[in-house]
Amino acid sequence: MTSSDPFADLRIPSDYGRNPRRPRFKEAETLEDVEPNLVGMTQRLAPTTAAAWRDMKRSAADAGVQLLLVSGFRSIRHQADLIRRKLAAGQSIEKILTVNAAPGFSEHHTGRAIDIATPGTRPLTAEFDTSPAFQWLQANAGAFGFHMPYGRGNRFGFEYEPWHWSQVETDVRRRKSDARVG
């Protein structure tokens, strides 16, 4: 890290971004307000993801499953502030980077990633995978373009996050497929 690095205070290992398992993400250019999260803060998503979220949430409700939006878009600056708060609370950067991507490396920057909760389970905990909401997502989220990138033993090296669903990798696969066709 150089002194001109705006995130030097985070003490992120200098080789973090050179790991091919950790793709870099640009911040979304276009976002729309979707709904308030569990604490009343309006969450924003990329327009196509917002539409897919609304359709998926409606479909789940029709099946008797309640999906709650915990978080959507997160700016690079917000990601850095999140890590700073954890560092100030005494967590090590090594531990933090198993649950939070470094600034510039979070799928949330794209506006195409969401964290989901449901009544009866604590938000952002592995117990979400015991819920009917998780079972419904496993069976149905793909139809709305969502997948769960941080399963057990995921290639990114993050801890298991059954609540995190995105359209990011789906988009990457589509671009690769389009490139082969052309």
Of 139, 136, 143, 137, whose CA–CA distance to 165 is shortest? 137
Residue 164's pLDDT is 98
Rounded to the nearest 10 degrees, what angle do helices 132-140 and 47-62 cross at?
Answer: 120
Measured between alpha carbons, how far is 120 from 72 in angstroms, rounded to an integer? 21
pTM, two decimals, is 0.88
Residue 151's pLDDT is 96
DSSP state of 112: -
* 112-127 per-position pLDDT tens digit: 999 999 999 999 999 9
Give 150's contacts (C-beta < 8 A, 6+ positions apart): 156, 158, 159, 160, 161, 164
- CB count, 10 Å around CB of 181? 5
Residue 159's pLDDT is 95
Please report which confidence band the pLDDT of residue 17 belongs to, taking 50, 70 and 90 as the band edges: confident
* Domains in the chain: ranges and CATH: 20-181 (3.30.1380.10)
Min mean pLDDT across 3-7, 114-118, 119-123, 135-139 is at 3-7
Measured between alpha carbons, how far is 176 from 129 in angstroms, rounded to an integer? 31
* Tokens of residue 60, six digits: 């789940």
3 state DSSP class of 51? helix
Min mean pLDDT across 14-18, 60-64, 93-97 is at 14-18
Please report which confidence band the pLDDT of residue 6 belongs to, taking 50, 70 and 90 as the band edges: confident
DSSP state of 131: S
Measured between alpha carbons, how far is 173 from 87 in angstroms, rounded to an integer? 35
The average pLDDT across 65-78 equals: 97
DSSP state of 120: T
**Phi, psi of 71, rounded to the nearest 5 degrees:** -155, 155
Query: Alpha-carbon dihedral of residues 31, 69, 27, 87, nearest 10 degrees?
Result: 140
Tell whether the model's pLDDT for residue 101 goes beyond 80. Answer: yes
Tell whether the model's pLDDT for residue 175 goes beyond 60. Answer: no
Task: Output the average pLDDT for the chain.
Answer: 90
Please report which confidence band the pLDDT of residue 3 belongs to, taking 50, 70 and 90 as the band edges: low
Residue 116's pLDDT is 98
